[in-house]
A and B are shown apart, each in its own frame.
Chain A
Amino acid sequence: MPGRQFSRLVSRFPEIGVLLVLIGFLGLFSIIGRGFASTNTMITILVGAAELGTIAIGVSILMIAGEFDISVGSVYCFSTLIFCVASNLGIPTPACFLITLAACAGIGCCNGMLTVFLGIPSFIATLGAMLFWRGLHGILTEGADVSLKESGAFLEFLGGNPLASSTDSMTLQSLKMTAIWFPIFAIFFHVLLQKTRFGNHVFATGGNLNAARNAGVKVTKTKILSFTILGALVGFTGSANVAQYRGSTGMLGEYLELDAIAACVVGGNLLMGGRGSILGTVLGVLLLQVIRTGLVTIGDAYWYRPLTGIIIVVAVVLNTFIRKHQE
């Protein structure tokens, strides 16, 4: 029975839905988009997806653990300021990178502690953080952009084009290191979630908090650690952004939290926690970016948000349907 085979496939590989939709859109834009079906466009998509994707990996882990962080866009923005200010004070760039990473991990950790110890919903705790950090960026810069004076090999390593000096090909001109970091993080965190004790505890904490606690899982620690990992990924992405654009601007990362949550949900992560995968999130991010880029190639970029909105709702309906008919 094909129906039964399909449901078996779906229970073993629940990301099949978003993968099929992704392939569908790739096919569609290849036919109707001008210059879409090219290596150059594919690289542009990967580079474009990399920053959102790296952050979405962390959002996905946290969502599986049963919590949200809607401050990622603001913290991402603030992290670029930390990097730039530190560097402009004369601190060497590798140290600036570590400071940014640590500061953002710390901010994530604080979000986690606020949520867990004060018992307030993470949506509210991080709504506060979202307003606070973007607001603080405005206060400290008085709304002006800050530019990075420093340049150097470390910045190239973080966010430059790894093939810049070795290739003349136009195709690879748009490649960025972020497009290499993103899959590395994806694989690392996929293994962490699926194959380690911590990952097991993340799924358990989000799946059934009391059962996990009763079984001896340190649910508080698991949640705070998930917030912290997300913070560190945001800090990394902010540093990579500075490495590319050599500055900090107050508008950076607006709507990023929503795009990240959208990518996770489209990729089959359950909003209530307990279910999801990095693979699904990566496919979700790629799908959003394919649509964004594809719409540009057909000259209709304004359709990006409405279309994303439709896809989110359709994806959730489909995922719910698939889950009910598993087995």
Chain B
Amino acid sequence: MKAEHTSAPIVELIDVKKRFGRVNALRGVNCKFYRGQITALVGDNGAGKSTLTKILCGVYPPTKGRFVFDGQDRHWTNPVEAREAGIETVYQDLALVESMSIARNFFLGKEIKKGLGILDHKKMAEVALKGVRDLGIELPDANRNVQFLSGGQRKSIAIARSLHFKPKLLILDEPTAALSIKESNIVLRHVEEVRERGIPVIFITHNIHLIYPIADRFILLEQGQKIGDVDKNEVTPDQLIESIVTGKEIRDAN
């Protein structure tokens, strides 16, 4: 079973391998991520999701293979380059600096200046509040420290921040880990909203039931290899889970 697509993919990985010393984290992965879609990257712990994610968001380059983003071969060595090219990432629990304000976090690394190198705090606070409000979250004060916010509010801020910089691709690494059910649903609504704005999303998770309702496509990893690449209408949640648990390719529904 293989998903067919006509448009050019936003990301294409061709025979991507990644080794850490003796460990083969990725053993030659080929996959495409398409525009306008939410693609769920799923697999058990140690399947290679996190290695693949880190290659996508520029933490390190692959050992071998090609990484094509937006039609060009890329060889990033740090997240700044990926960010500049239009890939925004919401990291699992390393997204925000707790001891800093919402506004300062929102513009961290991309601060607004007034001239003479002085930061424009007022404008940063306004824009941050607006960005968060556009996602439907009301926050009273952008000068509040992040440490006083709930896990869900933090994710919302991280997503709002990513969207503010008009990305060509949004990567969400386990965005609902450690969130309550209610908060998870809010995050999922944000993700749908992102798709409606035309921004492709890669959603890394191992919670199939959670992602299934909103995902368009699933890519399954197991021990550093791709074992599944299917459109939602070709597969049921149970088949996906079975495949992850057994480590075997998805069996035909019929």
Interface residues of A (CB under 8 A from B): 191, 195-198, 200-201, 203-204, 207-208, 210-218, 270, 274-275, 326-327
Contacts and interface: CB of A to CB of B under 8 A. Distances in A.
B100 interface: yes
Interface in B94-119: 94-100, 104, 108-111, 113, 117-119
A214 B95 contact: yes
B109 A207 contact: no
Contacts of B99: 203, 207-208, 270, 274-275
Q: Which of B96, B97, B104, B111 has the most CB of A within 10 A?
A: B97
A247 to B, nearest CB: 39
A212 B119 CA distance: 17
B79 interface: yes
Contacts of B89: 214
For the complex of A and B, the 3 pairs showing the least CB-CB separation, nearest first, are A216-B109, A207-B97, A215-B109
Interface of B: 79-80, 83, 89, 91, 94-100, 104, 108-111, 113, 117-119, 121, 148
Given A195-B119, A200-B119, A215-B109, A208 B79 contact: no
Contacts, number: 70
B104 A203 contact: yes
Given A203-B104, A207-B97, A211-B91, A197 B111 contact: yes
A208 B98 contact: yes
B118 A217 contact: no
A211 B95 contact: yes
Contacts of A203: 97, 99-100, 104
A210 B94 CA distance: 6
A214 B108 CA distance: 10
A320 to B, nearest CB: 14
Contacts of B117: 196-198
Given A207-B99, A214-B89, A216-B80, A200 B94 contact: no
A204 B148 contact: no
